[in-house]
Structure 1
Amino acid sequence: MSAVVPRADVTPGPIIFVPVDPTQDKKRKNATLTEDQLTQEGRDALAAALEAVCDFASEKAERLVETYGYEKEYYLRLIFSGGASKMSERRSNPYNAWVHDLAKRYSQGPHTTEVVNLFHLQREHRHEYDALTEQQKHKLVTAYDEDRQLRKLLSPRFEQGDREQDIRQSFKAMQDMFLSLKLRAGCDGFICLVKSDDDLSFPSMWYFTNPEIDRYLSSSITRWDIGRIGELTEKFCMEAGNIMRHLTTNRERAIWFKKEISEKLNSKLAEITGNPKAAMAYKDYDGKVALGHGVILEGWTHEIFAAPSALPMTLEPLRILFDALNSGHCHFRRLTGPELTARQVAYGEKLKNGMVTIRKERSDKGTKRKFYRSDIYTANDDQEEGPSQKRACLEDHPSGFPPDSSSDSSSNSDSSDEW
């Protein structure tokens, strides 16, 4: 009987109140100096030496700015604080690089099943190292450094216990990063960690910097359930993150392709024009896109040029157009001056010949519209309590209209005048 795995493991962050005044550091003890070091001449010499170092670093940073760009403060920060990571790092030497290459070649050769002592292997092939040139040693060191960096990035763990420990430690590190970011910058958020491998068995792991975030989302979003959200996210990641596996029918896939094509076209148009509100037009493409923004669309692969929602539901042409947008084959290009002038002339001829359908303008264009005020109709309802007054019944009147209130009031006024 398999163990029941909980749906979600929630770790709330601590409720921390940041004080207004910054925390004061503890007073450090002064270093014990000799009498010679305490003299004014020694202090002046030290200040001059430090100033020379700062001037050299500033000059070097200015040269780096001219060569590689960025800002001067960026290089100064790397110069003065970037050496801390180099203190614990061991520099590669040619002999270690050669031993690494020798072990790799031996493990990939025909003797992969044999167990050989690496020390004996080094003694047997020592003459190869002695015959290496400086250029060959430099290549071995470069390749060895690349392998070391790759191992640092990947750091594979094949044992089940090691993988689970790596997950716990990494999740703890992410919690510390979020908490420190909250204290330093005043940011809040949450983390959701799910598995993407069948060999692992742990529920979705959640962390909230503020426990009230989960409660607020539960009351504000319908059916907000972190357990259900974690299960769906885990299911999607277990299937290699392929959205097509979740779209079962061709109709659903075609609708998804159309939506993605429309969003990509709008984003590409907004990027080239610099206007985030720019939208693609298809019926009046020449007037609103080519002449309005000065760009044209090149590489359209579909046989029909229309809005993606109006394209046929055939899946393969939509897929080809989607791939063309992703690869950059279908893209927008800015028009040159002569091209823009030629298009303006051609568009003007189409307007004269009636080949372009223009939307009819409103008759009240340029005039202010009156605002509908509903408060004048509800003023009496606010004063009086009870149900609202019903409409007059039209069946009692042969004309089909209620009696005119103005005529009644005039007759009453006439009768009062007679008295």
Structure 2
Amino acid sequence: MPSSLTIAAVSQPRNRPPTQPRAPLTAAEKKEKKRLSEEQKEAMDEDIAQWHASTRAKAIELGQKYNKTERYFLDIFFQGGARMVHSQEKVNAYNAFKAEKAAELRAEGRVLLATELHEEYFAEYEAMTEEEKKDLVTRYAGVKAAAPKLRRDTPRARMRDVSNTCKNLEMLMYGLSYRVGVEGFFCVVRNSTDFHMNPQWYFTSQALERYMPLAVRKKWNTGDVGTRIEAFAVAGCDTLST
């Protein structure tokens, strides 16, 4: 169980040095940034389109091989995509045993390698009843749940978190599009100046993105819209500040 000192240390905010505000971009820099963003998006769209094509080709190939429809395998590919977001690692009884045994030995001043732990105590684990193993798993899960979880709030960690989450969202929406028949898009922007990140856009189809100027009945540039949404979010979603 974590001590009060550990909990206090985890809960206290970090002292960060004041950050220097970024200098505003010049017109040329904005133009170059926009160009690079558009090139990156075009390359990304091309890669995603190739992946879509290869996925459909694989579904068709498997359908012909096993006398099933393309839709059948596409559903298998993307069914239950939420598991990617809400996946939980199942606690293994033997891993729980080793963790608890290692903790006991450390308290006695002994530190064993995993191989040594296995050789010396595997017979003890084998002699345990199923009920004892279930109790062991329950105790281990409780220890893991009670352990303080440190927030990895470095800019790099935040970017990795956003990237992984957006990929999962794309897979979920793509799978939903194939399973149900829907279209949609999302835009993810930062609401803090603590790190830099370009707005993350995803459309289920390029046709939907091309339709946006007609939908809003005015000029639409995905990059510009994302930048404006980001400014609004950084301002605390305050309409008077943007």
Q: Which category of TM-score, normalised to the shorter sequence, fits these structures?
A: 0.3 to 0.5
Structure with a larger share of its residues in helix: 2
Q: TM-score, normalised by structure 1?
A: 0.29
